[in-house]
Structure 1
Amino acid sequence: MGTTAVMGQQGCLVIPVELRDALDLRPGDELHITVEEGRLVVQKPAAPAQTLRGSLAGLHAERSLVDELLAERRAEAQHG
């Protein structure tokens, strides 16, 4: 989805209603703005719970981080 917007005299940019609706943007929402490969990228920050879920997505349910940590500590104790 894309559209064209015109920048105002003081650098203000109005986000068209169809894009605001698509992202559920409301007045007062914070947006993260970056420049990537010569493009202006505007993103709605993910909710903290979504960010956490995304960072844990690669973990498998059968994997035990506690068991891995204990194995690492035991190996370190044997070699050091």
Structure 2
Amino acid sequence: MDATVVLGQQGRLVIPANVRAALGLAPGDQLHLHVAGPRLVLERPADAVTELRALGSLVPRSRSLVEELLAERRLAAATE
């Protein structure tokens, strides 16, 4: 689904009704906005969490990201 929106004088965007309906958005829903390169991305916080959990499920359980981060921080601290 594509839509073109116009940025209002006060920096506001109106999400077209058909897009809101297709996504199940209602007045008062919160959306998270972030910049990804030259793009603006709007997403519901719950959708972002779902995406992050899916990414996390790809990491083997035998791998400890916490231990890797701690090792990197220790190495950086030792070289300062």
With the length of structure 2 as denominator, give the TM-score of the two structures: 0.58
Letter of the 1:20 counterpart: R
Q: Which residue pairs with 1:2 in the alignment?
A: 2
SS at match of 2:42: strand
Calculate percent identity across the aligned residue pairs: 49
Separation of aligned partners in 1, 2:9 and 2:24: 27
With the length of structure 1 as denominator, give the TM-score of the two structures: 0.58
How far does residue 27 in structure 1 lie from its aligned partner after superposition?
0.5
Any unmatched runs of 5+ in structure 1? 59-80
Which portions of structure 1, spanning 4 or more consecutive aligned residues, are displaced by more than 4 angstroms? 49-53, 55-58
Separation of aligned partners in 2, 1:52 and 1:34: 15
Q: Which residue pairs with 1:18 in the alignment?
A: 18
Moved more, 9-18 or 38-47: 38-47
Structure possessing the higher radius of gyration over alpha carbons: 1
- For these two proteins, the number of residue pairs brought into alignment is 62
